[in-house]
Amino acid sequence: MSNGVKIAVVGAGSAQFSLALMRDLVLTRSLAGSELTLMDVDQDRLELVGGLARRYAEEADTRLSVRTTLSRTDALRNADFVINTALAGGHRVYEAERALAERHGYYRGLSRLHMQRNLILMLEVVEEMGDVCPDAWLIQASNPVFEGCTLMTRETTQKIVGLCHGYRGYLKVARVLGLDPERISWQAPGFNHCIYLTDFNYEGQSIYPLLDEWIENKAEEYWANTELRYGETDLSRAAIDHYRRVGLLPLGDTTRAFDDGAGPSTWWYHNDMEAKQRWFGSLGGFDSGPGWAQYLEHLEDGMRDIRRAVEDPSRPVSELLPLVPSGEHHIELIESLVTGQERILQVNLPNRGAISGIANDVVVEGKGVVTGGRVQMLQVGSFPDQLYWRIFAPRQVRLEQTLLAFREHDLGLLREILLEDHRTTATAQVDALLEEALQAPGNSSVASWYRFK
């Protein structure tokens, strides 16, 4: 039985993510006959990804159709689902802004500053959806999911859900501890990039005593002998130190960046390269200079593989992308919303009472049930006081500060947020940074959005 739908991907030049979606889509036979529209502003990357996606659909013997467009309006028109994976300006602008911030004394940049471009883009996308596909679901994949989804769900009536795979860190922990993931029950609620294993059980028994034993007897050997890639976070020294401080294990990006995630409770893991190496290994983790360079090289390697595959039609695409599930849940979510198949997935939705102490209109992350054409957060209850007051209450305040500045177009309020950064030593430092940043190439949208009041 076919349940063909129209799926639009905004920012499809993010090649690995787009092709992961394609892989999951061709494996989902209940969505046979669907149309996938790939949209990006980079024509070269778009055509490479589109060409490979079309061949993938043919090889998989599916009735899926694939088309590409440079027009966002064209992609969105009459869509049933929109997946936004776009990074406004791309990595080139992001890296230039990071270098600019470092010149002003902000090691590895300021996410509070660079997120402004994506907030503007997110709002543009969802507002356009209201005009050309008002009944469509928006699945938000690119960051900042926390601020962006909270903003969009407050400003529009569009159906919106955010997805992120950081919670999958529990699988890494299970493997290191020698546990079968299929026999584990878990829950990791919080805010996107700020989640904790509040429940972590193996056959009904808490895994935390096993983790404590591993920390006591095996952690030092693991840190010394394991070749840690740039993505190692879940069992890093930083994650274990944070666990000891707050009583629950953080997952994914929670300890990754000092002006994101758990924020004030993790900045010392990232103060300089020496600190990063101490807490995340010799490479300094995902967000160090070498770690991020490795990540960008990984992306370029993927594009080179795609280009070689496109240029060699004799090579089956399945050699590059085997026909196995990607581990992402975007297509599973779509399938459940279309077919009615009930699933429980990690999602980002307005709280509406799921977590005590968090405002109802703040988007939280946690398990949600997809049923009856809707997605609903499962009840979590309360966080331990130490976790709530040290992590979540301050994080919610910073969210509201950021969105107030954005909603009011108030550069003075944005300036106040940057003044609170622990690396700021003088008002003149922030003023010089803002002056240069707002004149930088690629930041015209932010310069037009903000003004002093």
Query: How far apart, in whole angstroms, are the C-alpha atoms of residue 24 and residue 56?
Result: 11
Query: How far apart, in whole angstroms, are the C-alpha atoms of residue 38 and residue 50?
Result: 7
Which of 100, 104, 83, 103 shows the shortest CA–CA distance to 12? 83
Question: pLDDT value at position 262?
Answer: 45
CB 405 within 8 Å of CB 418: no
Query: How far apart, in whole angstroms, are the C-alpha atoms of residue 313 and residue 232?
Result: 36
Burial of 410 (0-12, 13-18, 19+ CB in 10 A): middle
Burial of 108 (0-12, 13-18, 19+ CB in 10 A): buried
Secondary structure class of 295 (helix, strand, coil): helix
Residues of 176-189 as b/e, b for ≥16 C-beta within 10 angstroms?
bbebeeeebebbbb
Provide the pLDDT confidence category of residue 1 given band limits of 50, 70 and 90.
very low
CB 97 within 8 Å of CB 66: no
CB 344 within 8 Å of CB 362: no
The tens digit of pLDDT for each residue in 242-266 reads 999 999 999 999 998 655 544 556 8
Task: List Cα–Cα distances, 175 to 169, 170, 207, 234, 236, in angstroms.
Answer: 10, 9, 12, 12, 15
Cβ-based neighbours of 311, under 8 Å, separated by 6 or more:
none
The tens digit of pLDDT for each residue in 128-144 reads 999 999 999 999 999 99
Summary mean pLDDT of the chain: 92
Task: List Cα–Cα distances, 10 to 88, 102, 123, 124, 424, in angstroms.
Answer: 11, 30, 13, 12, 36
The tens digit of pLDDT for each residue in 74-94 reads 999 999 999 999 999 998 899
> Half-sphere exposure of residue 36, counting CA atoms within 13 Å on the CB side?
31
**Candidate list 131, 135, 165, 272, residue with the active-site label:** 165
Cβ-based neighbours of 127, under 8 Å, separated by 6 or more:
156
CATH fold for domain 6-161: Rossmann fold (3.40.50)
Backbone angles phi, psi at 205, to 5 degrees: -110, 140
Provide the pLDDT confidence category of residue 2 given band limits of 50, 70 and 90.
low
Is 253 noted as a catalytic residue in this protein?
yes
CB 434 within 8 Å of CB 418: yes
The tens digit of pLDDT for each residue in 361-417 reads 999 999 999 999 999 999 999 999 999 999 999 999 999 999 999 999 999 999 999
**Candidate list 40, 80, 234, 253, residue with the active-site label:** 253
Question: pLDDT value at position 261?
Answer: 43
pLDDT exceeds cutoff 90 at 226: no
The tens digit of pLDDT for each residue in 323-345 reads 788 899 999 999 999 999 999 99
Question: pLDDT value at position 258?
Answer: 58
CB 86 within 8 Å of CB 142: yes
Is 44 noted as a catalytic residue in this protein?
no
Q: Which amino acid does the sequence have at 290?
A: P
Query: How far apart, in whole angstroms, are the C-alpha atoms of residue 451 and residue 447?
Result: 8
Secondary structure letter of residue 260 according to DSSP: S
Secondary structure letter of residue 207 according to DSSP: S
Question: pLDDT value at position 313?
Answer: 83
Q: Which helix (H) or strand (E) holds 28?
A: none
The tens digit of pLDDT for each residue in 49-60 reads 998 888 888 888
264 upstream amide cis, omega within 30 of 0: no
